[in-house]
Amino acid sequence: MKWASGVFCRPEHLERLSQYRKRESQRTASIHTRLKSMVQSYLEGVGWGLEQLQEARVELKEVSHALKKTGLESVENAGGVKSLERLREVSVNHRQLLAAVSNLPRLYSVRSMVLETERLVESRRLLEAHARLMDLEQWQDDILWQLHSSSAGSTGSELSNEDKELVAKYFSGVGQLVDALGKELWAVVSSALALARQNPTPFVSAVRIVEREEALDQALLEDRSTNGINGRPLPPGRPRCWRVCFFQVLEEAVSARFRSVSYLHTRGPGLAGHLSALQHHCVPPHYRLTGAYLRASHQCLHAHLAQVSSWDLESGEIFAVLNWVLHIYNSADMMGQPELVAELEKEELGPLISTEGLEKLQGKYVQSVRKSVSEWMHKALQVELQDWQRDQEPDTDHEGFYHTCLPTIITQMLEENAHVALMIGQSLRDQTIQMGLYEIENLRFREALVEFGKEHRRDPSNSKSKFYLHYLLASICNCIILKKSTESLQQQQSSRSAGQFSRTPPNPLAALDRAVRRACRLVMDQLMLELKPLLPGLLTRTWLVQGDPTPKLCLVLERHLELYGRVRPPCQQRLQEEAQWMMVVEYVRALMQKRLVCRSVDDRKQLGQMMVQDEQQLREVFNSTECDGSVPEVNPLALLPVLADFIQLKDPNMLTLEVSGLAAKYPDISEEHVSVLMDIRGDVSRDIRGSVLDLLEQSAPPLPAGYRPIFTDILVPHATMAFCLPTAKCA
């Protein structure tokens, strides 16, 4: 219906009804054809599937019959195997007796071999002891394999528990020797650093024994994986995995050395000393250990620094940890030492603190610094508020502009924090800068200005308000300085990190602009407060005769404009333009009050001349204090001569043309404003008034782009209706 209402919105569109009907019929027929084709294809697929199911059912029946037949034949053949059991038992006994006879010499010498190996272990002749131990283990493995082969060949089963217990009894001392040798090995490995300095031979022997054991484990595992159940079974206690144990003992030894370092007095200033002790403790200049020892040291440091990072650290402590991890640890005094670099690649060790851990630590650092910066900014703002109450003029810089210490304190604080963070890395510097930008945005400087203005309005005569205007102007200069410092900080940030730390990037410039606008508004309010007592005297009979109070107004403006010269550009020009605009608006507003209505040509001429004279006096005041090289785009003072020409125009019939030009220059002028101007003239007839207002209504042009309305801010007072009675008689 929505589509049809759009297509047939007019009667002449119904001619295309047959075309649309034909098109829809064709579309419907096409859809029906496609539906029939799809249903037919679906039915064909269902039929084919049923045929496949029937064929599968027949094949399943055939397979079931074949399985039943095979099962019957298997039961019949099982009876023939029982007759061979007796022969298998005789064969097993024969193999066991043969193995026992061939191994009798070895079995008799096992005890003496065990005792001799024990003496070698006690005297730390580790290589010789390991060689004897390997011989004993080889004898044990051979006997077990012979028993296993004879058992598997006769019965097809594993070695019996009785045989295993018998072999274990003869070779009971072998397991104890393995434990004793391992204990001595791990004792040597745990004292590797001391041995490396004094006598590395025991440590080298321990490494060679570990490598032999690892080679034996590997050979047995490969045989097992190649031959499967037909291969030799793994001997008792295999695989020993002594290489894994070697590194575990090494790591435990390193960890024990770290535990020996006292953690007392590591908070605050003691943390840097603790990290320095770790530097000399972990990697002394004469470091000679292998990559395994480096890995163990790295892992212990990793665990230790993870514990340190979990503490509730202050910003200085976090900086010490980050600097140690990112710079000192990788320096030439530690892991960057050429001998260590050649020993082990850094990629094998991995990061000392994970990327997530570093980001978390940097985040804690930024939050800690942010807390400190926020407190300092709050204190600086409190000092600034106290300075505003001083009974003296604000300080001026070498260019003569007002300023206080607030922007210097904030700028130095943020610059120093950014410089310190850059010592850690560019990313931390960017995060610190962004934090500072947030704090500038949250400074609540505008709110302080609002409260400052409220206090002044409550008691303008207070002695503390003597330099109220001066400190407002100083606050504008401070905001301009802070904007330049903020832009400098933003330029220091790398382009890739801008906005990546937060979904809503900080906007301190907008906050400072809002503070500047509020301060400028308060400055204009103060100007208006001083002009207000003089404004009622404008455009009165006394003003027409004596010229007062225009000179007094000029003195107030001149004093204010002189103070505006202590404000940094471009706000200096902005304040001067706003003052000029406000003066013209108040002047025209006084004119619209109809305090002075002309009764003759001379009155109109005198009024126009006085308005032109006032415009010249005001122009001289503003021109004498204009910024160097600054020319306002629109001069509102030009309105006063135009209104004066309208009032002192001799021929009222020319008012239509005059109003046309006035509306072209000031398109926001309304009929009420023109009507008041004609009332002030006092000689405009009803016909001329009607034609002028009709022309103004018909030719009201739109406001051009960039035009600042002036008459919009000037309200025309309502005309008072004359009191009258009806002329009809009472009944």
571-586 per-position pLDDT tens digit: 999 999 999 999 999 9
| pLDDT of 433 | 93
Percentage of the chain lying above the pLDDT 70 cut: 80
Would you place residue 128 in the very low, low, confident or very high pLDDT band (cuts 50, 70, 90)?
confident
| pLDDT of 243 | 81
One-character DSSP codes across 517-554: HHHHHHHHHHHHHHHTTTGGGTTSHHHHHH-TTHHHHH
CA distance 374 to 370: 6
> Which candidate, 634, 641, 625, places its Cα nearest to that of 557?
625
With a cut of 50, say whether residue 138 has pLDDT above it: yes
With a cut of 70, say whether residue 146 has pLDDT above it: no
> Which candidate, 417, 445, 430, places its Cα nearest to that of 506?
430
Q: How many CA atoms lie within 13 A of 507 on its CB side?
A: 6
With beta carbons less than 8 A apart as the criterion, state whether 292 and 207 touch.
no
| pLDDT of 229 | 59
In the chain, where are the structural domains located? 13-70, 94-248, 261-353, 368-526, 532-702
| pLDDT of 214 | 81
CB-based contacts of 334: which residues, under 8 Å, 6+ apart? 279, 282, 283, 328, 340
Which residue has 């001069």 as its token pair?
635
Would you place residue 729 in the very low, low, confident or very high pLDDT band (cuts 50, 70, 90)?
very low
With a cut of 70, say whether residue 381 has pLDDT above it: yes
Output the CA angle 655-658-662, nearest 5 degrees. 135
With a cut of 90, say whether residue 14 has pLDDT above it: no
Percentage of the chain lying above the pLDDT 90 cut: 35
| pLDDT of 283 | 33
With beta carbons less than 8 A apart as the criterion, state whether 588 and 651 touch.
no
Would you place residue 109 in the very low, low, confident or very high pLDDT band (cuts 50, 70, 90)?
low
CA distance 424 to 418: 10
With a cut of 50, say whether residue 652 has pLDDT above it: yes
CA distance 12 to 584: 61
With beta carbons less than 8 A apart as the criterion, state whether 464 and 401 touch.
no
> Which candidate, 593, 707, 595, 606, places its Cα nearest to that of 647?
606
Which residue has 């020996």 as its token pair?
260
Region 600-624: mean pLDDT is 93
One-character DSSP codes across 546-593: H-TTHHHHHHHHHHHHHHHTTSPTTHHHHHHHHHHHHHHHHHHHHHHT
For the chain, give the mean pLDDT.
81
Q: Lowest-confidence range among 209-218, 424-433, 522-531?
A: 209-218
> Which candidate, 345, 319, 316, places its Cα nearest to that of 330?
345
Kindly report the number of other CB atoms within 10 A of residue 175's CB atom. Answer: 14
Higher pLDDT pick, 616 / 5: 616
**E strands in 319-423:** 395-396, 402-403
The DSSP bridge partners found for residue 396 are: 402
Q: How many CA atoms lie within 13 A of 386 on its CB side?
A: 7
| pLDDT of 437 | 93
Q: Lowest-confidence range among 179-193, 304-318, 461-475, 546-560?
A: 179-193
Pair of tokens at residue 671: 């009929």
Cα dihedral sign for 141, 143, 149, 155? negative
Region 492-502: mean pLDDT is 65
Question: Exposed e or buried b for every residue in 615-640, given b needs 16+ CB within 10 A?
Answer: beebeebbeebbbeeeeeeeebbebb
| pLDDT of 286 | 33
With a cut of 90, say whether residue 379 has pLDDT above it: yes
Q: Lowest-confidence range among 2-6, 155-159, 352-356, 397-401?
A: 155-159
With a cut of 60, say whether residue 318 has pLDDT above it: yes
Helix/strand/coil for 395: strand
With a cut of 60, say whether residue 290 has pLDDT above it: no
One-character DSSP codes across 488-499: HHHHHS-GGGTT
| pLDDT of 198 | 67
Backbone angles phi, psi at 729, to 5 degrees: -80, 155
CB-based contacts of 681: which residues, under 8 Å, 6+ apart? 598, 604, 646, 647, 649, 652
Would you place residue 134 in the very low, low, confident or very high pLDDT band (cuts 50, 70, 90)?
confident
The DSSP bridge partners found for residue 469 are: none
With a cut of 60, say whether residue 725 has pLDDT above it: no
The pTM (predicted TM-score) of the whole model is 0.62
| pLDDT of 534 | 94
With beta carbons less than 8 A apart as the criterion, state whether 138 and 201 touch.
no
| pLDDT of 412 | 94
Q: Lowest-confidence range among 35-39, 62-66, 299-303?
A: 299-303
Would you place residue 502 in the very low, low, confident or very high pLDDT band (cuts 50, 70, 90)?
low
With a cut of 50, say whether residue 156 has pLDDT above it: no
With a cut of 90, say whether residue 567 has pLDDT above it: yes
Cα dihedral sign for 189, 191, 192, 195? negative
Helix/strand/coil for 708: coil
Would you place residue 643 in the very low, low, confident or very high pLDDT band (cuts 50, 70, 90)?
very high
| pLDDT of 69 | 87
With a cut of 90, say whether residue 515 has pLDDT above it: yes
Which residue has 């003089």 as its token pair?
534
CA distance 378 to 380: 5
Pair of tokens at residue 210: 């570990």
Pair of tokens at residue 423: 């010592």
Which residue has 């109220």 as its token pair?
468
If you average pLDDT over each of 104-113, 322-331, 609-618, which comes out highest? Answer: 609-618
Pair of tokens at residue 173: 């001392």
Would you place residue 447 in the very low, low, confident or very high pLDDT band (cuts 50, 70, 90)?
very high
| pLDDT of 296 | 77
Pair of tokens at residue 451: 């409260």
| pLDDT of 451 | 93
Amino acid identity of residue 334, one-letter, is: M
With beta carbons less than 8 A apart as the criterion, state whether 700 and 689 touch.
no
Cis peptide before 202 (omega within 30 of 0): no
Region 491-516: mean pLDDT is 78
CA distance 242 to 44: 68
| pLDDT of 288 | 40
Region 42-63: mean pLDDT is 90
Region 714-727: mean pLDDT is 59
Radius of gyration of the chain from its Cα atoms, rounded to whole angstroms? 52
| pLDDT of 406 | 94
With beta carbons less than 8 A apart as the criterion, state whether 395 and 458 touch.
no
Region 188-205: mean pLDDT is 71
Burial class (CB in 10 A: 0-12, 13-18, 19+), 441: middle
CA distance 521 to 611: 28
Would you place residue 632 in the very low, low, confident or very high pLDDT band (cuts 50, 70, 90)?
low
> Which candidate, 491, 317, 320, 498, places its Cα nearest to that of 415?
491
The CATH classification of domain 368-526, taken from the options 1.10.357.50, 2.40.50.100, 3.10.310.30, 3.40.50.300:
1.10.357.50
| pLDDT of 494 | 77
With a cut of 70, say whether residue 159 has pLDDT above it: no
Higher pLDDT pick, 299 / 342: 299
Would you place residue 167 in the very low, low, confident or very high pLDDT band (cuts 50, 70, 90)?
low
> Which candidate, 237, 345, 332, places its Cα nearest to that of 287?
332
CB-based contacts of 597: which residues, under 8 Å, 6+ apart? 679, 680, 682
CA distance 76 to 582: 122
CA distance 552 to 555: 5
Would you place residue 172 in the very low, low, confident or very high pLDDT band (cuts 50, 70, 90)?
low
With a cut of 70, say whether residue 705 has pLDDT above it: yes
| pLDDT of 374 | 93
With a cut of 70, say whether residue 316 has pLDDT above it: yes
Region 32-53: mean pLDDT is 90
| pLDDT of 284 | 36
